[in-house]
Each structure stands twice: as C-alpha cells, then as structure tokens.
Chains A and B, each alone.
Chain A
Amino acid sequence: AAMAVNADLRRERAAATFQPELLTHILDGGPERTRRRKEIEALVLNDPDFQHEDLNFLSRSQRYEQAIRKSSLMVVKLREYGIADPEEIYWFKSFVHRGRPEPLDLHLGMFLPTLLTQATPEQQDRFFMPAWNLQIIGTYAQTEMGHGTHLRGLETTATYDPSTQEFILNSPTVTSIKWWPGGLGKTSNHAIVLAQLYTQGQCKGLHAFIVPIRHLGTHEPLPGITVGDIGPKFGYDEIDNGYLKMDNFRIPRENMLMKYAQVEPDGTYVKPVSDKLTYGTMVFIRSFIVGDSARSLSRACTIAIRYSAVRHQSELKPGEPEPQILDYQTQQYKLFPLLATAYAFHFVGAYIKDTYHRISGDISKGDLSELPELHALTAGLKAFTSWTANAGIEECRMACGGHGYSRCSGIPDIYVTFSPSCTYEGENTVMMLQTARFLMKSYTQVTSGQQVTGMVSYLNDLSRQRIQPQHVAARTVTVRINDPTSLVEAYKSRAAWLVESAAKNLQAELNHRRSKEDAWNRTSVDLVRASEAHCHYVIVKLFTAKVAEVADTAVRAVLTDLCLLYALFGISRNTGDFLQAGILTSAQITQVNQHVKELLAVIRPNAVALVDAFDFHDVHLGSVLGRYDGNVYENMFEWAKKSPLNKTQVHESFHKHLKPMQAKL
C-alpha cells in the first residue's frame, strides 16, 4: 500500500527556492530528452518481465542467472521497440539492470563496436550478423593476470604459420592467462583476444584476433581452450569475469582483425596507416567514466541527503525535539560539498562528451590536432573524478551511520560497482602521469618560446611573467572569494605553480645526471599533484562557465551557490598549496573557511530539491534509506523480513549445533 510522503520530506520540498524539474532538464540536455528518458524508464518499469526479487537476497549464481535472463529479454525488446540511439540504449539497459553491469556488456559495448571499426568488410560479413543475432556472443580479452594498464607488457602470443595459413595462439606463462574480461567465464563463445603477433620470426606488437572459445552447439570449451570464472569479487556479482588459457590453439589467418594492420598469406606484415585513431575509443570510454562518476555520486548523495532529512537524533537546543541530522553543521559539511561535486562532474562529463563528438566529426575529416590534448585531459579527469566519487560514495555511506552499512541502504552496492573504475580503462595513477606527461611537454614548449593552446594555455602566461614571489604576492589581492570567475583564476595560478614546481624538480633530478626514467620516477609524486591541480582547475572553470549559461534565475542562483561551494571547499581542503604559492593570504584562507560554512546554511533549504532534481526512480536507486517518500523505518523492517536467514523461524544450525552443545554441557 502506498504510504503518505514523510512530513519532513514534504516540508523540505515545499521550502525549495527553485523548480527541480527545470534543473533535471538541464542535466538531461533539454526537456525533450527528459521526457524521452522517462518514457523509456516507464517501458521497463511497467514490464512484468523485468521484475524480480531484491538482488540483495540472492547468491552470486542467482544474480548471474537473473542478469542473463534480463539481458536476453533486453536485446529482444530493444529491437522490438526500435530503440537504436546509443544514449537511449544506455537508458534502457540501465533501467533494466538498475545501474548495475550485465553479462552482455562487453559483447554489446566492445565486441560489436570493435568488429565495426577494426574488421574488414569480409570479416564483417562472417561475424557481424551472427554476433548481432547473438549466435556469437563475444567478449574483449585484453587484460592478463600479470599485466593491465601497461599494454606493451602483455604476453599472449599469436604466431603465424604460413604452411597452414593459421595463427597459433598460446598463453606461454601463468601470468599470460587472460584474466578479468567480463562475460568471458561462462557467457561468451568468442573473444577478441589481444596478443603479441609473431610472423617471420619477428614480434610486431599487439594485435586483435577473433578467437572461438566454446562450441556453438554444446557451449563446451573447445580443445586447447581452458576457460572459467575468476571467482568472487568485491562487486560485479552478476558478471562472469573470466580467465582464458590457450594451448597451441589454431585460428585461420582471416581471424586477425585486418582493417588496419595485415598479415599476408606468405606472412608478410603490412603496417597500419595511423595509430592515433585508437585514441578515439579510449577518450570515449574515459569520458563515459567521468559521467559515471557523476551518476554514482549523485545516487549516493540522493540517499544520504534524503535519509538525513528523515532521521532525527540527539538535541541541538535543550528541551526541543530531536532535530533532523541534516541540521548539524558537521553533517552538512560531509554532504553538501559532495552534492556540489556531483553537479560539477555532471557538467564536466557532458563537456567531454560534446567535445569528443565535435572532434570525432573532425577526425573523419582528418583533423586530429585537438585529439592529443583531449586524450591527455580525459586521462586525468577520469582519474580525478573516479577517485573523488569513490571516496565521496563512502563518505555518503558513513554519513548514514550504521544503517548505511546495511545492504538495504543501497550505498554498499553503488560503492562496489563503482570502485573498479579507479582501475579499469587505465589505472588512475598511471592516468595522472599521462596527463602530467602532456603538461610537462606543454611546459617545455612554452619555455622554448612556443605558444600552447587549449586548457593549458595558462602556461603561456607563466613564461611571460616568470613567477616571482613578489609578483605572486602582488596578485593575491585580486582574488575575490565571492566571485567564481576570480576563483577560477586562483585555481589556474595553483595549477601553474604546481606544474612549474614539478617541471623544475624534474629538471633538478636530470641535472643530477639521473636517467630520464629515473628522474621521472623520482618526481612522480609531484607530477601527480600537478595533474590533479590541472584537472581541478578545468573542473572549476567548466562548472563556472556552465552556470553562467543557465537561463532560469532561480536555478542559476542555486547552481551558483553550489559552484561557489565547490570552488571554496576545494581551496579549504588544499589550503597549503594556495598559501605556499602565495595565491591567497592566511586572512583570505580564514575567510574562505568561514564562507564555506555560510554556504552550507544557504544550501540547506534546497538540499532535498537538489537531489530530487537528479530524478532517480526508487527502483533504480535501490535504497530503503533513500526512498522518495521517506518512509524509511517501516520499509527497513519489511525488507529485513525477507532475509534468507529469516526463511524459517528456527534456523537449522540450532538443531545441528546449539542443541547438541547445550545437551552436552
């Protein structure tokens, strides 16, 4: 039975100073997109085929089974409904699987697209339609037990045998066993395998091969193939991440993806024209992770903020009723900066996506000039946003106290599902160092008199003015802590300062006659700091710019508060940098800290409306604490009764263990 909305939440919503729907439209990219999203959401939610028991009560095998069941239906229904736009497919999938990964993710997200981009027309004829119709289910087998982000280290070999015109695939060591690919363990019958290509006795580096791994009729592994599930993980219960070991497994020459590089029948190797194109896919996936950081953090914030408005505890004023915990300054200080961060990351994710689409338009016309910077930037932003969101989700969970620890809060699941983004698609520290490499290159360009463009153009000023302590000190007065544009400048100065310090330290190490690699390693902590500061600057800049575009006055006002909070909180968490660089004085830092606390009180009345604007459906949110109607305690009790341990009134271990013990003692 539907319960009335909790009185606290009703009051919160009535007191908001803006209309949450308008903000939802901005997040979705327009009212029409919001309408369409909700339409697709309703298709899924009203479909009895997609209903099932609460996943928290299922074993791993059962969760896998549910996911497979839903994925099969999903593929059928997507086609039935004629949904083909990638974003709409994403919505549909995300509602079906409630924001969780699913076993066909790699088939749909990697196997099919790779066929489209890297297979020759003949190969597409052979593989694409069967794969489209799911007679072939494929995965993408790149990571090995011994190597991840460092691709050149992969050990799997594909040796060409001209006598039979076949490649012989081998996993020569334990560390070369393919390990982690999603859908590999149990679901897939094919894999695109990345292996070191050997032909005519020479290693030609990594190439992609289409490898059948299971029999199309019986689904049994083929001779020469050892394949299985890698066992239980922190999360991703519904995915059969797998291992794959190949022993002299032969595939026809035509199974190497040969749109770019080729091996001719006699074994002659033909080099690809350009390898920059592979950047494109990486940029796309990393930009997706930035968006995912925003979404996951938004979900956690929605749960924590709604629950904090419903939960009453202790006393603020003697003799008065217990206040909502959201009224405590410490609680606001935990949650509101994260709320601001979620909004910031939404806008950054949208920016990268747009830029990617704009540039990929150029790529097809042959203009790749902007790609290196975007590639470097998305590496860093992927790391920055996923680290921050990962920590932020945990803070949200902690802010829900004991109940956050129960799976009924939904936050544990959000966390374990999101957390691997810090590792996959490029380990974060390595990503930060990639960005740093670009920053160092740009810095060197500037010092040698060249101009740089794009987000690093602030480095041009650096060479013009040569940062001097006095100079910087003179600049401090210009920072106005109530003005986001002025704060963008402060972040810019911090980035410039840290980039320059890292560059100087790197040079100093080189001057000690260390090798380039050694010097780089000895500076890498500084380099990561510089990259972080650069990303932080980019985010503050993009957030500020986005807010200025908003037409509705009330929405703009509340976003301005969030933007200011984001920028000022970032300063208060990194005061050392701003002080040491002489960008802000101690007196200004004190003001910044004070202003952060004032903003908490300003945002407080809009907090619930701001999470409502994320517009997560209760089914999608999967949280008893974060329910839209706020009826938390009643539903926790209902939820707990369904726990597997409660299946019988007296648990079997009473008869097995407890009773015999009591009889003996």
Chain B
Amino acid sequence: VNPDLASERQTASFSVEKLTALLDGGAEQTRIRRGVVEAIESDPIFSRENQYFQTQNERYEAAVRKAVYLQKKMHDMGWTENGPEYKYIYRALSGDVAFLLHRVFMRSISVLGSDKQIAKWIPLATQHKLIGSYAQTELGHGTYLQGLETTAVFDTATQEFILNTPKISAMKWWPGDMGRSATHTVVFAQLYVHGKCYGIHPFIVQIRSLQDHSLCPGITAGDIGPKMNFEHIDNGYLLLKNVRIPGENMLSKFCEVRPDGTYVRQGSQKINYFTMTTVRISVLSDEVLTPLMKACTIAIRYSVVRRQSKLKPGEQEAKILDYQTQQEKLLPQLATAYAFHFINKYLEQLFSKGYREIQRKNFDMLPELHALSSGFKAMITQHCTAGVEICLRACGGHGYSLLSGLPSLYTKILASCIYEGENTILLLQTARFLIKCFMAASAGQPVPPSVTYLAAVKHGKCPAKNKLDFLSPDIYTEAYQHVAVRLMSSTAAKLQDLIQSGVKKHDAWNQCTVQLVQAAKAHCHYIAVKNFAETVEKLETKAGIQKIMKHLCDLFALHGIFSNTGVFLHDGYTSAAQMDMVTASYLDLLAVIRKDAVPLVDAFDFTDKSLNSALGSYDGQVYQRLYEWAQKSPTNQMSPAYERYLKPLLHNTLSKL
C-alpha cells in the first residue's frame, strides 16, 4: 500500500468496520454482501477488466453472456430471487449485465396482470422461455404518459387487439433489451373500443420468433444507436403495423374488455401509480447513490496520493487533499453521499409501510408518498450527478481518462435525471402537492405528517450568536424549515394574486413554475437535513461513529446554506453577520473531516474490481496501474492508419506536399 494512503488509515477517529456494518444494516448483511461480491468477482466470466476497451457490440455481447451465465451461477450458489443474497448481485456486477428490463416485464405482469395471466406468463419468464421488455416511452413522448400515441383497437369479430404505430413520433423508442434481445414486450397503448378511447393500457406483444429470433410479422424493431453510456444495453425502437394479439393479452387486473366490447374498470388504478412511485425509490440505491460513493472513493484516495505544488517552502509537495479548495470540492460530496444514504433508508421504510397499507386498500398515504418519491428522486439524482462530475473534474487530467472509472460513472448516472420521470416535471408534481397542503394547512385542515411544518409559520430570526451555534442541528434545521415555508408561502401568494387579477389558472401556474421548483427543492432539502440530524441523534455513541456522522451532518447542512446564501438572507431571518459565521464554521469543518476522509470512503467497502479505476484502488498504486492499463489498450497495437496515411505523409509521397 502506498504510504501516503496507509498513513491516512492509521489516524481514523472511528471504526471503519462498524461504519460499514451500519451502512449495510448490520454485520450479518455485510457478511452476506461480501460473500456475493467475492463469488461474482472471482468468476472470470463476470470480469470487467477490458470494459473500457470494448466496442458497443462487444459490450452488448458480454452483457448477454453474463446474464445467461448468471442463471447458472445462481443455481450453483443456491441463491434465489427471494433470498438475502439477491439484492447484492446487481451491485456485485456493477450493473454490467443484460435483461434488466426482463425483471420490469415480470414485475408489470405481476402487478397489472390477472391471476390467470400471472399463472401463464410468469413461469415462462422465470425459465427464460421468453425474454421480456417494457415499451412505454415513444419518440415523441416520455414523462407525459397521456400523450402516448400507439393505438390498440379491439376487434370484437376476432376478439383481438390490433396494435399500430400511427405516426413516426409514436414509435416506441428507448426501451432497454428491446433492440436485439427481447422476444416479448409490454406495450403501452391508447385503448380504443367501438371508436371510443379509454386511455393508456398495457398489452403483452410478441415481437420476435421463439425459434429463430426473427421479427414477427408487422414488427419493425432495432437498436436506437450509440448513447453516452449503457453501451451494453440494446435500447430499442419498435414499429407496430396491424399487429394482432389475442384479447387475453391486455393486462387486466384493473381494467378489462369483455368479449362484447364492454369496458370494465375494477378497483383503483392508483396501484399503478404506486408501482411507478416505488420504482423511483428502488433505483436510487444501486443506480444513483452507489456511483456517487464510488466517485468519492476514487477522487478522495487519488487526492491523498497525488502531490502537487508546495504548501510550505522547502517541504515535500503537498497532497492535493490538503488544499482547502480541493476539500471544498470533495468533502461536501462525501457528506451528501451519507445524507442521501440515510434519507434513502428512511424512504424505503416509509414505502414498505405504504405498500402494506395499499394492499389493505387504504390509499390515504398515496399522495404524500407520490410527492416524496418525485421530489427526492429529482433531488437525489440531481445532487449525485453533479457530485460525480465534481469528483471527475477534481481529478484533473487523469479524471478524463476512462481508466479512472469516473467518466463511465458520470455518463451512466446522468441518465437517472431523466428516466423514471424527468426531474423538473417531478419537482412540479411535488410542488402541486405542497401547494395543496399549504392551502389546506392555512385553512386549518389536517395535512400529511411530512408537511405539517407548513402550518407552523413562525416569523422569528435565527438565534445563532457565534459560529459554534451553527453546529447545532436545531439552529440549522430551523433555518431550512424557515426557508422552505417562506418559499412555499410566497409562491402560493403569488399564484393567488395572479389568479385574482384575472390570469387563467394554467397560465398563472406556468408563470410561477420557476418558483415552484425552487420551493419543492427547499422542501426536500429541509427533510434531508432534518432526517440526517435525527438519524445521527439515534446512533450509538460507541466507536466514534456518531461523532463523525455528526460532523458530516453539519457539513451537509452548512454546505447547503453556503451555496444558497441568498434564500437564507432574503427576509432577514439570517443576518449578514450570521452568514459570516456559517462560512467560518463550514470552512472549519472541512479541515476536521479532512482527517477522516479516507476512512470514510473505505467504509463504503468497494472492492478494487468493483471500482475498476486506476486512480481509486485500495493500495493507491495509482501511477503504476495507469501505466500498466494504458499498455493494454488496443490502440497500442499497430494501427492501419500508419501504413495507409502516416507513411505517405511522412515519406512525402502524398501529392504536392
């Protein structure tokens, strides 16, 4: 181990192993996770060693190979889909595997299908007799589902649905695994019966032959071409031309078309929305938090190995993590990773409680859960994406090499700002809920627990007297609360004013959207800070864990204030002098957390193989690794460019030089 990295580990103020266990939810979980990771990583089939050198076609093929082999592996290891190991497999594979949409295909049938449909399709899918995908997004429409244009017309004569892509913008576009792999997909289409449109419904459509994989009649499908990342996934397009499917292929747990064409709705579709809502939360851990944690690990380890310029004349060059500006880039990202880990745990608990309620047909929690999932999906993806990019740039030139691992983390995570709902639209959905609650609270009506604070408008001033006061969770949590309430109430007032002055409701809404987005963000930020502070409170004081988490919580909160001073100063709640105290405390914290920075990323417990980074490995042998890996690059085999172009150029045989 590089001595510069070893020395960082000797001075840890807390037990790294205990913190890892806390993050995993117990030492037993850590043990299981490590077992899965070890089993996967020791198997050469799952190696990602050459990933950075592969073409799109090679990446795709490797992902399919891994997906197929994984079935055998799971069988050999005795892992089952309901077992405790299952959730760690994806992390161990770093997502580099095909058929993820197959899972979504199965889940949508389980949730939206009738008992009969489940009995028919799920066993086929489980045994991989077919490969499923999920075709919702179209070329012309994404988050706004009502705008989808694919049609499914019921033909009473044959008891079939006829599916069509009526125009180019209606072509299905983006669904994963659909370009090359899938044999079946769940198509979302506008249902028409006897000329009447009943809105969007899901249909199981076979798109490729189970014999020779050729496209079925009426189907045009293919890969949508290169993207920023996800080279291993064949995101696809799908054109349907008079494709007939049996009537029983419409997923009909909630809605049904009877043989005579009668449309029957059974129960509430709200459960559909709840599925979407839970997906938003379920992607956060693996697709969003993990990349930020990995990026922090790479950037922070590299920053204690890299020495550059001198802090004191005559001394050795300083580790770049000793520069305040470098700390100010990286340590807030580290605090953010921990803050979001805890809020994510909180949301997961809330949602499993919500799920139990909804199964009991109690839909009371639904609006609140929907607002929370939308707002936090937007906030967490946005902050984590920005954080990964900061880590990338903080590694200077070497961060730009694919071998650092950072570009791939970045290009992958940034898709999360768009999939499962575009962030701005999601924040506006949260804002709509908040406005409603704010109005209700102002009228003295009861509101859901996460927004009760909106009723308690206080007009005080921030009571902090010196910089240490800003290390008190009560002080900063209250400041966040104050800002959230102020932004919500001023936006609500503006909206009221516009409507009262005769502006139409939808125009007034559009004119307030910039403020509404800001208010929704402030709400989520407040809850994240409050949750972090409350979590820290409950931690064990043993092994130094609580103390270091308290520092991170303070940093997360103060960084948020420091980066948004205007909203805290605006109505005088915080004074200019207090803002100087915030800055002072914030900068002091950087130096404190600096000492534990490496142990704090070690606690995330990523293996070198999972980081797949020449800069971030545990032993810190950065430069040697960079040099070794570069030599493996295919570009270092003789290129045809020399014979074809360089040679004539150099030998002056190119005409007229």
Q: Which residues of A contact B (CB under 8 A)?
A: 56-57, 59-61, 64-65, 68-69, 72, 75-76, 79-80, 133-135, 137, 143, 145-150, 152-153, 174-175, 177, 179-180, 185-187, 189, 216, 219, 228-235, 240, 243, 311-318, 322, 327-330, 333-334, 394, 398, 401-402, 404-408, 412, 416, 419-420, 422-424, 427-429, 433, 515, 517-518, 521-525, 528, 574-582, 586, 589, 593, 597, 633-634, 636-637, 639-646, 649-654, 656-662, 665
Contact = CB atoms under 8 A, between A and B. Distances in A.
B227 interface: yes
Contacts of B657: 75-76, 79, 133-134
Nearest to B517: A330
Contacts of B328: 525
Interface centre among A57, A187, A230, A427 (most CB of B within 10 A): A230
Nearest to B209: A650
B401 interface: yes
Contacts of B428: 330
Output the residue of B226, B312, B422 with the most chain A CB within 10 A.
B226
Interface size class of B (residues with CB under 8 A): 35 or more
A646 B402 CA distance: 26
Contacts of A575: 565-567, 569-570
A537 to B, nearest CB: 18
Interface stretch (B340-348, B524-532, B630-638): B630-638
Contacts of B225: 56-57, 406-408, 639-640, 642-643, 645
A203 B311 CA distance: 22
Contacts of B246: none
Which residue, of B137, B222, B400, has the highest number of chain A Cβ atoms within 10 A?
Answer: B400
A318 B514 contact: no
A229 B630 contact: yes
B174 interface: yes
Given A149-B396, A150-B308, A646-B179, 19 more contacts: A56-B225, A76-B654, A135-B650, A149-B308, A179-B626, A230-B630, A232-B402, A234-B401, A314-B144, A315-B506, A316-B507, A329-B511, A521-B324, A575-B566, A579-B570, A579-B576, A593-B515, A641-B222, A654-B213
Interface of B: 52-53, 55-57, 60-61, 64-65, 68, 71, 127-129, 131, 137, 139-144, 147, 168-169, 171, 173-174, 179-181, 210, 212-215, 222-228, 234, 237, 306-313, 317, 322-326, 328-329, 389, 393, 396-403, 407, 411, 414-415, 417-419, 422-425, 428, 504, 506-507, 510-511, 513-515, 517, 564-572, 576, 579, 587, 623-624, 626-627, 629-636, 639-642, 644-652, 654-657
27 contacts: A61-B634, A79-B656, A133-B657, A134-B657, A149-B308, A150-B308, A187-B646, A228-B630, A228-B636, A230-B633, A234-B400, A328-B513, A398-B423, A401-B143, A401-B422, A405-B418, A406-B224, A422-B393, A517-B310, A574-B566, A575-B566, A576-B565, A579-B570, A633-B140, A650-B213, A657-B64, A657-B68
Given A402-B142, A405-B418, A641-B222, A175 B237 contact: no
A231 B635 contact: yes
Contact of B223 (A312, A525, A640, A661): A640
A405 B227 contact: yes
Contact of A231 (B52, B317, B325, B414): B52
Nearest to A236: B400
A145, A177, A405, most chain B CB atoms within 10 A: A405
Contacts of B228: 405, 407, 412
Contacts of A150: 308-309, 317
A574 B570 CA distance: 12
B226 A231 contact: no
Contact of B308 (A153, A333, A401, A524): A153
Contacts of B642: 186, 219
A29 B398 CA distance: 38
A231 B633 contact: yes
A146 B623 contact: yes
Contact of B168 (A597, A637, A651, A661): A637
B397 A525 contact: no
B368 to A, nearest CB: 24
A634 B143 CA distance: 21
A433 B325 CA distance: 10
A640 B222 contact: yes
Contact of B397 (A75, A143, A189, A582): A143
B122 to A, nearest CB: 14
B71 A661 contact: yes
Contacts of B630: 228-231, 243
Contact of B52 (A72, A232, A401): A232
Contact of B649 (A134, A230, A517, A524): A134
Contacts of A398: 414, 417-418, 423
Given A72-B654, A402-B174, A580-B576, A153 B222 contact: no
A405 B324 contact: no
Contact of A589 (B61, B214, B570): B570
Given A76-B656, A633-B169, A653 B224 contact: no
A327 B539 CA distance: 49
B330 to A, nearest CB: 12
A455 B627 CA distance: 45
A636 B139 contact: yes
A330 B424 contact: yes
Which of B223, B234, B571, B655: most chain A CB closer than 10 A? B223
Nearest to A65: B641
B324 A72 contact: no
A576 B213 contact: no
The 6 closest A-B pairs by CB, nearest first: A576-B565, A575-B566, A645-B223, A231-B633, A643-B225, A576-B566
A578 B569 CA distance: 10
Contacts of B140: 311-312, 633
Nearest to B399: A423
A180 B397 contact: yes
Contact of A61 (B180, B631, B639): B639
A659 B213 CA distance: 9
A470 to B, nearest CB: 13
B510 A665 contact: no
Given A580-B576, A645-B57, A423 B237 contact: no
B64 A650 contact: no
B55 A186 contact: no
A346 to B, nearest CB: 24
Given A60-B635, A317-B504, A330-B428, A401 B623 contact: no
Contacts of B226: 56-57, 406-407, 643
Contacts of A311: 140
Contact of A229 (B147, B322, B636): B636
B637 to A, nearest CB: 9
Most chain A Cβ neighbours within 10 Å, of B139, B307, B389, B428: B139
A152 B483 CA distance: 48
A650 B636 contact: no
Contacts of B651: 135
A44 to B, nearest CB: 18
